[in-house]
Amino acid sequence: MSKYLLRRVLTMVPVLLGASFVCFLLLRLTPVDPAKAYLSVSNIIPTEETLRAVREQLGLDRPFWSQYVHWLWQLCQLDFGVSFFTKLPVASEVAARLPVTAMLAFSSLAIALIVSIPLGIAAALRKNRAMDHISRVLAFLGASVPQFWLAYLLIYFMAVKMDWFPLQGADTWIHYVLPSITLAFALIATYSRLLRRGLLECLEQPFVLYANARGLRSFTVIGRHVLRHAIRPVVTAAGMNLGKLFAGTVIVEQIFAMPGMGGFFLEAVFHRDYPVIQGYVLIMAFVFILGSLTADMIQAYLDPRLRQSMGKEG
C-alpha cells in the first residue's frame, strides 16, 4: 500500500513542478513592470533609483533561470515571498485566511454529499418516476445556473426578503449556510446523476440479482453491496472537484464578503500583487493534486480487489 502511495505521490512531482513553472511564467507575461507595480502600491514615486532598488530587492535583475531556481528554492522552504500590498509574508497571509475557505469548501462538499446520495438512490430506485424527474431537472439547473447569480438569488430571497440568514460575513456557522448552498448546488447535480447511473449499472450486475433472489431486502442490498460500487465515480468526482471547489470560493467569498483566501486573491488581482497571485495559484494546484490523490486512496479502500492487489505489491 505504501509503495503504491509513494508511486502516486512521485507522479505528482513533475506535474507540480510544471504548474510552478506556469505560475512563475505568469509574472514574465505582464505588460506592467512588477517593480513599478510594487512602487505603485507602496505609494513610492517610481524613479530610476527606486526602481533599481526594488528590482534588486525582488531579484528581478537576475537572469530568468536563476530567478526561477531561487524562487523554487524559497518555495521549498515554504517562503512564498512578501505581499506587495500588505508587506507581510504571503504564506502567513494565506494561512490566516485558509480556515474560512477550507470551512466553506468542506461544508459545501458535505451538503452536496448529504443531499445527493439520498437523491441519487431515490432516482435510481424510482427510475422514471417523480423523484427521478426532480433529480433530472435539478441536474439541468445545476449545470446551467451561474454561480454568482444563484448567490444573489439566495441573498435576495433568504436574507433580504425572509431575513432568515445574515447577508454577509463569516462570523458564525450560520454565515456559511448560503455560500455553501451556492457552491453545493452544481455539485449536487453532478453527484446525484453520477450515483444514479452507477446504481443502475450495478443493479443489473449478477451479484445483485443473486442477492435479490436470496430474498435480501432491497434496502440491505443497496446499503451493503451496491452503494459501495456505485459511489466510486462520485468519490473520483469529489476528489477532482476539490480544486474547482476552492476556485469557486473566489466568486462566492467575494459576494458574501467572507474573509477567505479567494477574496484575498481577487483583491491581489486588482492590486497586481504578484507574489500573492503566484502563491495562491500554486496552492490551488497543490490542492487540486491532493484532491485527486485522496480520491484515489478512498477509491482503493472502497474496491477490495484493488486493495488486495496493492497489498501484494506492498
Partner 1 sequence: MGVIRNIQWIVGRQRVTTVIPVVLLLIIVLAGIFAPLLAPNDPNFVDLSHKLQGPSPQFPLGTDQLGRCLLSRLLYGTQVSLSLALLIVTACVSIGLVIGSLAGYTGGKVDGIIMRICDAILAIPSLILAISLIAIWGAGWKQMAIALIIVQSVYYTRFIRGMVVNLKQQTYVVAARIMGTSPVRMVTRHIIPNLLPSLFIVVTLEIGWVIMDISALSFLGLGVQAPTPEWGAMINEGKTFIRSHPRLIIAPGVIILCVVALLNIIGETLGDKNGKAIPMRKAAKHSNKLKGGQHEREGNHS
Partner 2 sequence: MGRIRNRRMVSIILVLIISIVMAGCQSTNQASPDTTKESATTDKANTEKTLTISWPKDIGPLNPHQYTPNEFFAQGMYYEPLIGYGEGGKLVPKLAESWDISEDGKVYTFHLRKNVKFTDGSDFDANVVQKNFDTILANKDMHSWLGVISQIEKTKVIDANTFAVTLKNRYYPALQEFAVVRPLRFLGAAGFPDDGNTAESIKSPITTGPWVLSEYQKDKVAVFTRNDNYWGTKPKINKLIVKVIPDGEARVLALEKGDIDLIYGEGVISLDSFVALRDSGKFETSISDAVASRALIVNTAKGPFADLNVRLALQHAVNKTALVDGVTNGVEKVADTIISSNFPYANVGLKPYDYNVETAKSLLDAAGWKLPEGKDVREKDGKKLEIEMVYMGPDQVEQPMAAAIQSDLKQVGINLKLTGLERELRNKRMETADFDLLFWGTYGAPYDPHNFVSTNYEPGYGIFESQQGLSMKDELHQQMKDVLLTTDETERQKLYTSIFTTLHEQAVYLPISYLTNIAVYPNYVKDLKFPAHRDETPFDTLDIQK
Question: Which region, judged by CB under 8 A, interacts with partner 2, from 84-92, 177-185, 231-239, 242-250?
Answer: 84-92
Task: Identify residues 191-250 at the interface with partner 1 (CB under 8 A).
Answer: 193-194, 233, 236-237, 239-241, 243-248, 250
Among 50, 67, 147, 294, binds partner 2 (CB under 8 A): 50
Binding flag, residue 169, partner 2 (CB under 8 A): yes
Binding flag, residue 153, partner 1 (CB under 8 A): yes
Question: Which region, judged by CB under 8 A, interacts with partner 2, from 8-16, 41-49, 57-65, 111-119?
Answer: 41-49
Q: CB neighbours of 216 closer than 8 A, spacing ≥ 6?
A: none
Angle between helices 130-144 and 90-125 (to 10 degrees): 150
Backbone angles phi, psi at 89, to 5 degrees: -60, 135
Nearer to partner 1, 124 or 221 (CB): 124
CA distance 17 to 72: 9
In which region does residue 33 sit, left (phi positive, over 0), alpha (psi from -120 to 50) or beta (all else)? beta
CA distance 193 to 187: 10
The least CB distance from residue 252 to partner 1, in Å, is 11
Residues contacting partner 2: total by CB under 8 A? 36
Cell of 91: 504564506
Q: CB neighbours of 221 closer than 8 A, spacing ≥ 6?
A: 208, 211, 212
The least CB distance from residue 251 to partner 1, in Å, is 6
Choose among partner 2, partner 1, none what residue 91 binds, the Cβ cut-off being 5 to 8 Å by kind.
partner 2
Binding flag, residue 147, partner 1 (CB under 8 A): yes
Backbone angles phi, psi at 82, to 5 degrees: -115, 135
Per DSSP, the chain holds a count of helices (H) and strands (E) of 15, 0
Residue type, 41: V
Residues at the contact surface with partner 1, assessed by CB under 8 A: 14-19, 21-23, 26-27, 29-32, 128, 133, 136-137, 139-149, 152-153, 155-156, 160, 186-187, 189-190, 193-194, 233, 236-237, 239-241, 243-248, 250-251, 254, 265-266, 268-270, 272, 277, 280-281, 284-285, 288-289, 292
